[in-house]
Structure 1
Amino acid sequence: MAIPKLNAYTLPTAADIPENKVNWAFEPERAALLIHDMQEYFIDFWGDNCPMIQQVIANIAVLRDYCKRHNIPVYYTAQPNAQSDEDRALLNDMWGPGLNKHPERQKVVAELAPDEHDTVLTKWRYSAFVRSPLEQVLKETGRNQLIICGVYAHIGCMTTATDAFMRDIKPFMVADALADFSREEHMMALKYTAGRSGRVVMTRDLLPEAAPQNKEQLRELVLPLLDESDIPQDDENLIDYGLDSVRMMALAARWRKIHTDIDFVMLAKNPTIDAWWALLSRGS
């Protein structure tokens, strides 16, 4: 009845994306980002330090960063940790008490914690629109595109995408910024969305300015990600200045739009401004 222990799998790549029935253009000025149910309770089912989940978190982080820099509103869903039987209703039959038994795990994971500019929606059912002002605030602000990422792809994320479609809001399901019970169920959610209710994309598809144009821009991008107040030299190890693995994976996700071979391992091998600029400036 409860959510089972979950195992990592290979996240979808661009080659795995099902054929989209629609080819809606992504319009940042008409879009909003929904970070769906990325609460500690739901992430715990993969155990500690799961590489797949770390990559999903990194991809969501880079999407959130992009949205904040382009004035795209960011919404979260989060289930409450004290739900009455009346509020929970049939969810009790399907999943048991859920967060009621683990109230201390209600928070969104630290790497994606919302700030004062974000909106956190109380989540009552699979769809983020149920008992929520989401539709109203999207339409009041002229937003008719919803970027969907988070967990679980074939439950709340797919249901929210379908519900958005029925409210004339275009859903964009981000294949590598979602996680699920299994790869089979993940791909099922993508296939259904692509054929029935939305457009399936990769993180990099939504990031037109994926790479800096010169070393100075690279430095300006990296410095805010460091924990130290000191400014590193271009040949110094950025990890020594507080750059963590999640932020490095987010950079890799962002830069794969320019060079498809860039990954976390490549950046971590020599984490300096000089080395990264050498990778990014190839062929320019």
Structure 2
Amino acid sequence: MALPAITPYPMPGVADLPKNKVAWTPDPKRAVLLIHDMQRYFVEAFTAGASPVTELVSNIQQLRRHCASLGIPVVFSAQPGGQTPEQRGLLLDFWGGGINGGPLQKQIIDALTPSDGDIQLTKWTYSAFRRTNLLETMREKGKDQLIICGIYAHIGCLQTASDGFMSNIQPFLVADALGDFSLAHHQLALSYAAQLCAVTTTAHQVISALGPVASTSTSSGLSSHQVRADVAELLQVSLMELGENENLLERGMDSIRLMSLVERWRNAGAEVTFVELAERPTLTEWYAILGAQMLPPLAASTAQVALQRQA
């Protein structure tokens, strides 16, 4: 059965958070970020360019970038397409056969394409802990906190939080980095979590709690937009063509161009090496290496409009 189209609704913010029963705080030494089921099949049920999906994607991008900068593991869950009735289990009775419509439908959306260093889980039921190695992976890494974002808030995200809680994992449900069928469903998830199994919070609160990226290069004055512009110039492409998480070596970023970037960014005050860039060849990872400063939301929007006009 096809998913219903989701009518736009306002993304909850800090004023909409329910009162949390506990006062856990995200710790970069203890945390893992879970980006839950941000696949085309689910995301395309939302109205493109409208709330809540615009804030959903933007806030997940910010969380993902900051966590990667701090060395916090980033985990993507994704459901497989073409499941057999045995694999689908009782979900078949509630939701039908699941993802259909071709292989592209099961892919993570382009704006959040996983990097080589990210962990990818095949997810079979509501909870990302069931029939996966998520719990074992967290324990191996000495992690006992899970920051949860993605869709759908009252189904997989909430069930993952509840399941994690019962395994002594502290869950954080990021209210403005979740999406759901409606505002009522979204609020239901937040209310249940705050009362019984998790801390409800916002992307800004999580980023503030995790703290700034420790890097001597933050004083260089480099912004993420400047980094992107330098890369686009050397590759002779427009800024809008570059994906945050695509492999830039495959784009044509050879050793000569890499050395040119190293020299340019060192002159700007950044401490960076050729090897660092070559081993982690995506814009997202380079922002982290350079400690690139992010423009505030208004400035970022203005910059994007200017770039689109230039392109």
Same fold (TM over 0.5): yes
Q: TM-score, normalised by structure 2?
A: 0.73
Per the alignment, residue 301 of structure 2 pairs with 268
2:89 is aligned to 89
Per the alignment, residue 219 of structure 1 pairs with 222
CA deviations on 1:39-77 (whole Å, 9 max, x unpaired) are: 000011114333531221111011111111111001111
Q: Deviations over 1:69-122 (max 9, x none)?
A: 111001111001121110002111111112134433110000101011011101
- 1:203-231 deviation per Cα after TM superposition (whole angstroms, max 9, x unaligned): 0012235799x995553443234475349
One-letter code of the match for 1:178?
L
Distance, in Å, in 2 between the alignment partners of 1:153 and 1:226 is: 36
Distance 1:166 1:271, change over 3 A: same
CA distance in 1, matches of 2:59, 2:138: 23
Aligned length, in residue pairs: 251
- 1:4 is paired with a residue whose SS is coil
User: Counterpart of 1:256?
Assistant: none
Q: Any stretches of 5+ residues in structure 1 without a counterpart?
A: 232-239, 247-261, 274-284
After superposition, residues 59-208 of structure 1 pair within 5 angstroms as 59-208=59-208
Mapped partners of 2:47, 2:304: distance in 1: 27
Give the Cα separation in 2 of the matches to 1:39 and 1:170: 25
Runs of 5+ consecutive residues of structure 2 not aligned to the other structure: 245-294, 307-311
Q: Once the two structures are aligned, what percentage of the paired residues are identical?
A: 38
The residue type paired with residue 193 of structure 2 is T
TM-score by length of 1: 0.79
> Comparing 221-230 with 93-102, which one deviates more in the overlay?
221-230
CA RMSD, 1 decimal = 3.0
Contact 2:9 2:51 in 1 (8 A): no
